[in-house]
């Protein structure tokens, strides 16, 4: 299986996740990397994983992805605030970190299709609870050779999230609200993927389905890049001396972002601790303390919704490595997760987790962190980043480890304005609309409202279709003109 085939296929035939056969070492020094642009760094990292892409192909994907869609030339700026560096991964088209991978995935996929002589049009099907849908739409909009269909729960996303999606431009995009919740949307999409008859029918019409969700290896590899870039830039600005290590703190949900940091460390990047930050859904915090993963617990809705997850899918890839690349052991644990909702790793495996530690923040702690940092420094962070900032504070208090630390900042505060403003002003804003709060945030922080938000204030609604859960297949057929 080549890298391009794995990207096209998404999931292995037995339901498992694709992993690199071995984690390559960085074959270039940090000193050399420190003079490079984000795009150049991306090439040096990604070429080591995507080994069947030519230099020309990969560079073209990178340059199409990391361009003017980002509101800063450096793509991922770092802000020094108090005693940490905030790596801002939210300067892309949907102002959240999923843009880092979803800006390039469409190009990797169409290149992969070409390389594998696939003539069909690629149809991306996605169910979303808000963020992934918009980032995927923005990434695939007007990319030749692709179409994208996004299903979202009509009454289950925030007004800003809905507006972001239904105003999406691009003739190849299609957004449909369903009368049901996120699970209904996801089950509906899975049912379409599993429908052999429909698959055949679509193949005859020149279409094949693919998926843009976070278990695609094509989303993981681009995420390694910004860790390398961050290290190199700290070295360039003399904040880091040759031979020094950095710690990283990652607000975690599906375990994709922090797994990329782990891969970066395995490649030789000088990373010390990987601090995994959770909100009240602290399955991972418990796992790192005890070695037991147990999803049998209530699902808690928090103000950091992109981390409200009880099954962190990408953990499967970490387990594979700490089991000594034992696929059988990995499969056994994943089966237990399916049947019992829990599993325990061996003490041998647990020993391999020494680089990780888990911390979590309650709703109250995260809100206090947003307010406190704003009051002390004027810097405003979003609710997900706040969970990471709390985790960092607890870690330092516990360990007195003052290694330079990069806190991964995964969303713009403008994406979760209501929660951010309520944290700062310590009150509820029931009477104000999201856009009024956005203006208030701009005023108190002295920052500009991002283009991504300004755009939707006045944008035309282009997608008005709503369907029942059992009408999803028909909606796909209609959009593709296969009836």
Ligand X SMILES: *Cc1c(COP(=O)(O)O)cnc(C)c1O
What are the residues binding ligand X (CB under 6 A)? 96-98, 131, 214, 251-257, 306-307, 384, 410-411
CB of 101 to ligand X, least distance (A): 9
CB of 302 to ligand X, least distance (A): 12
CB closer to ligand X, 146 vs 223: 223
CB closer to ligand X, 36 vs 411: 411
CB of 215 to ligand X, least distance (A): 10
Six token digits for residue 255: 């375990």
Q: How far apart are the first and last CA of the chain?
A: 34
Query: Which residues have C-beta within 8 Å of that of residue 427, sequence separation ≥ 6?
Result: none
CB of 478 to ligand X, least distance (A): 30
CB closer to ligand X, 97 vs 140: 97
CB closer to ligand X, 105 vs 476: 105
CB closer to ligand X, 276 vs 467: 276
Task: Say whether 173 sits in a helix, a strand or coil.
Answer: strand
Q: Assess contact for 448 and 442: CB atoms under 8 A.
A: yes
CB closer to ligand X, 111 vs 257: 257
CB of 130 to ligand X, least distance (A): 9
Task: Measure the CA–CA gap between 475 and 482, rounded to whole angstroms.
Answer: 10
Q: Pick from 430, 460, 33: which is nearest to 231 by CA?
A: 33
Kindly tell me the sign of the dihedral angle through the C-alpha atoms of 408, 412, 421, 374: positive
179: enclosing H helix or E strand: strand 173-179
CB of 179 to ligand X, least distance (A): 25
Burial 418-430 (b: 16+ CB within 10 A, else e): bbbbbbbeeeebe
CB of 411 to ligand X, least distance (A): 4
Question: How far, rounded to the nearest angstrom, does the alpha carbon of residue 33 sit from its chain's CA centroid?
Answer: 24
Task: Measure the CA–CA gap between 52 and 4, rounded to whole angstroms.
Answer: 7
Q: Pick from 171, 172, 188: which is nearest to 180 by CA?
A: 188
CB closer to ligand X, 97 vs 392: 97
Q: Assess contact for 303 and 416: CB atoms under 8 A.
A: yes
CB closer to ligand X, 222 vs 253: 253
202 to 109, 192, 193, 195: CA distances (angstroms): 19, 11, 11, 11
The secondary structure of 217-254, three-state, reads: HHHHHHHHHHHHHHHHHHHHCCCCCCCCCEEEEEECCC
CB of 377 to ligand X, least distance (A): 21
Establish how many alpha carbons lie within 13 A of residue 95's alpha carbon, considering only the half-sphere containing its beta carbon.
Answer: 19
For the question of residue 98 being annotated catalytic, the response is yes
Helices (H), 18-158: 30-33, 38-46, 55-65, 98-102, 105-115, 131-140
CB closer to ligand X, 166 vs 388: 388
Q: Which residue is catalytic, options 22, 68, 98, 415?
A: 98
CB of 207 to ligand X, least distance (A): 28
Task: Measure the CA–CA gap between 319 and 314, rounded to whole angstroms.
Answer: 9
Q: Assess contact for 391 and 277: CB atoms under 8 A.
A: yes
Task: Measure the CA–CA gap between 39 and 411, rounded to whole angstroms.
Answer: 21
Residues with a catalytic annotation lie at 98
């Amino acid at each position: 299986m080549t890298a391009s085939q794995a990207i096209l296929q998404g999931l292995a035939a037995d339901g498992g996740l694709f992993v690199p056969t071995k984690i390559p070492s960085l074959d270039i020094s940090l000193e050399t990397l420190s003079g490079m642009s984000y795009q150049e760094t991306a090439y040096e990292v990604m070429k080591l994983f995507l080994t069947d892409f030519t230099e020309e192909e990969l560079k073209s994907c990178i340059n199409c992805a990391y361009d003017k869609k980002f509101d800063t030339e450096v793509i991922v700026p770092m802000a020094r605030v108090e005693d940490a560096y905030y790596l801002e991964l939210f300067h892309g088209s949907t102002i959240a970190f999923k843009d880092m991978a979803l800006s390039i995935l469409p190009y990797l996929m169409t290149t992969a299709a070409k390389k594998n002589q696939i003539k069909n049009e690629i149809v991306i099907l996605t169910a979303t609870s808000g963020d992934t849908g918009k980032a995927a739409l923005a990434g695939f909009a007007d990319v030749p050779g692709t179409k994208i269909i996004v299903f979202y729960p009509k009454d289950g996303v925030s007004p800003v999230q809905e507006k972001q999606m239904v105003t999406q431009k691009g003739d190849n995009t299609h957004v449909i609200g369903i009368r049901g919740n996120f699970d209904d949307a996801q089950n509906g999409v899975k049912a379409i993927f599993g429908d052999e008859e429909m698959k055949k029918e679509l193949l005859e019409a020149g279409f094949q389905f693919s998926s843009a969700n976070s278990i695609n290896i094509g989303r993981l590899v681009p995420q390694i890049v910004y860790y390398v870039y961050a290290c190199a830039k700290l070295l360039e600005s003399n904040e880091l001396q040759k031979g020094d290590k950095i710690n990283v703190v990652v607000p975690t949900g599906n375990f994709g972002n922090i797994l990329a940091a782990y891969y970066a460390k395995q490649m030789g990047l000088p990373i010390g601790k990987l601090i995994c930050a959770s909100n009240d859904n602290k399955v991972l915090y418990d796992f790192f303390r005890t070695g037991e993963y147990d999803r049998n617990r209530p699902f808690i809705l928090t103000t950091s919704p992109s981390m409200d997850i009880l099954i962190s899918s990408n953990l499967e890839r970490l387990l594979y490595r700490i089991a000594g690349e034992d696929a059988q052991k990995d499969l056994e644990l994943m089966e237990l997760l399916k049947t019992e909702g829990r599993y325990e790793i061996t003490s041998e495996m647990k020993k391999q987790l020494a680089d990780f530690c888990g911390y979590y923040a309650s709703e109250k702690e995260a809100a206090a962190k947003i307010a406190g940092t704003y009051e002390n420094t004027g810097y405003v962070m979003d609710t997900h980043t706040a969970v990471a900032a709390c985790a960092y504070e607890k870690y330092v208090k516990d360990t007195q480890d003052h290694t330079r630390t990069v806190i991964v900042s995964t969303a713009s505060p403008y994406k979760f304005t209501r929660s951010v403003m309520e944290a700062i002003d310590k009150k509820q804003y029931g009477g104000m609309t999201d856009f009024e709060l956005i203006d208030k945030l701009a005023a108190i922080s002295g920052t500009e409202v991002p283009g991504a938000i300004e755009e939707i204030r006045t944008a035309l609604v282009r997608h008005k279709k709503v369907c029942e859960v059992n009408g999803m297949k028909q909606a796909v057929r209609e959009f593709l003109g296969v009836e």
